Amino acid sequence: MSDIFPAYGKLLKRAREIALLDSAGSLLSWDRETYMPARALDHRAGQMAYFSGQAHRLFTARKVGEWISECEQHGFAPGSEEAANVREWRRSYDRKTKIPARLVEKFQRLCAHAREAWGEARKESKFKLFRPHLQKLMDLHLQFSGLWGYTGSPYNAHLDEYEPGARAEDLRELFDRLRPEIVAILGPAMERSAATPRSILNGHYPIAAQQAFNREVAKAMGFDFAAGRIDTTTHPFCSGLGLHDCRLTTRYNEVDFTQSLYGVMHEAGHGLYEQGLPPEHYGTPLGQAVSLGIHESQSRLWENHVGRSETFWQQWYPIACKHFPELGRLTPAQVTAAVNHVQPSFIRVEADQVTYDLHIILRFEIEMKLIERQLAVADVPAYWNERFEKSFGLKVARDADGCLQDVHWSIGTMGYFPTYSLGNLNAAQLMHRAQTDCPALETELARGEYGTLLGWLRDKVHRHGMKHRPQELLRLATGEGTGTAAHLTALRKKYGVAA
């Protein structure tokens, strides 16, 4: 340790101190979603605001900026771990110092109460119960945009929090190319999958049996249960709380076991990324995921490219039948066809692979309009319903099936949604390259052996942390930046649709 540049050593110490506070805050957030008594909300909001405020103050202290400047003047070797950490500390410092700690604390308090209000509003299917909370959050989001500063759309200021380097203008162009291609695939895919509706899976699947099966699948994928767990919540998520502590959640439907299964496979994909980050860099940028577009690529890859494949169900069908005896009335081919059935539906997290991106594009458009002051919070349900019917041909009858279905806005993550589609596109590129680099991969996956795939992802994605920016990392892994070709090719191949 004696040869560490002094200012860099101080930054390391401060970063790891902040990581402990952030970890405690994440644990409080996880508990709020899973086990917290309802009457504890006010106290929890205060706790979370305190931890967020303290972490913010520690990082935005003037001496932290001086240490970063000293490191920049010192000039670490380009491409080194130290240079990458300093680069990301600078980026984060410049953003965070523009937001006063009092606003960070206010935001956390608002999010805690908004999350609770969203849950009640969703249960009652009444947007008006959530509207005043969303309005308060939007007022702060708009204030944040001005404080951060931006070029182009003010949405860029929010997007940069989740996908560094991405711009709304580029995403709009990307989605404008993607949408008509998806629509062209949708009709033929619906026709080809019509013979095996998803409803053929419907039966009675006890929650205990689902939990046992899901755990077996997640363990086979490589998720370390000595360093993680699965719990139940309204909206599935993965939370990396710190070293060797990764929490997955899912929700259960006793009529359809695949809802929890794919929820777990999706969140376990996130969890594998968290468990694959280098522990020696914990608390620093090199020990953190590079972006949500890359993070989502991991979950979508495992959920769709592995979990919905024919080889997956050939391997896991007999095991599933042990947990769910009544599944024996179907064949592996029928199960595969059912989980790949294409039909426009209301709920994003249950959407098929073809229509999923249409859900995301809608949310992206609404977020852009809210941030650019082209849409009032009070008008969100009507706008959502109109645009949804135009895109999906379905009339939204309940707010719970429309603008209240997702938790994201209630927890303050404005700018998150487009990273789901970026994840979809990135996942297809990563899977294609893994198959190219590992010729025996398909044979191994057919045997339920996932070590080679996980090892490839560990090497190409997980171990790098934030050493590279998102698009640079993807180019190093696949040879190209995010595009639509691999994703569209995979969909056309699955559903037998000509280009």
- Please list the active-site residues: 267
Q: Tokens 């604390």, residue?
A: 105
The identity of residue 375, as a single letter, is: L
Q: Coil, strand or helix: which one is 228? A: strand
Residue-by-residue DSSP string for 427-450: HHHHHHHHHHH-TTHHHHHHTT--
Inter-helix orientation angle 168-193/356-371, to 10°:
150
| Displacement of CA 414 from its chain's centroid (Å) | 13
Backbone angles phi, psi at 43, to 5 degrees: -65, -40
**Nearest residue to 247 via CA among 279, 288, 218, 278:** 218
Tokens found for residue 413: 């993550």
What Cα–Cα distance (Å) separates residue 298 from each residue in 172, 272, 293, 331? 23, 8, 9, 29
Distance between CA 301 and CA 420 in Å, rounded? Answer: 12
Q: Tokens 């930054």, residue?
A: 11
The identity of residue 437, as a single letter, is: D
Tokens found for residue 303: 């959920």
Tokens found for residue 433: 């390259």
Long-range contacts of 323-332 (CB under 8 A, 24+ apart): 323/209, 323/210, 323/212, 323/213, 324/203, 324/205, 324/209, 324/213, 324/257, 326/203, 326/204, 327/201, 327/203, 330/200, 330/201
Tokens found for residue 127: 């947007």
Q: Coil, strand or helix: which one is 37? A: coil
Distance between CA 180 and CA 3 in Å, rounded? Answer: 57
Maximum Cα interatomic distance, the chain, rounded to a whole number of Å? 69
Intra-chain end-to-end CA distance of the chain, in Å = 58
The identity of residue 394, as a single letter, is: L
Q: Tokens 């190409």, residue?
A: 460
Distance between CA 467 and CA 285 in Å, rounded? Answer: 8
**Nearest residue to 388 via CA among 405, 371, 374:** 405
Q: Coil, strand or helix: which one is 492? A: helix
Distance between CA 102 and CA 334 in Å, rounded? Answer: 56
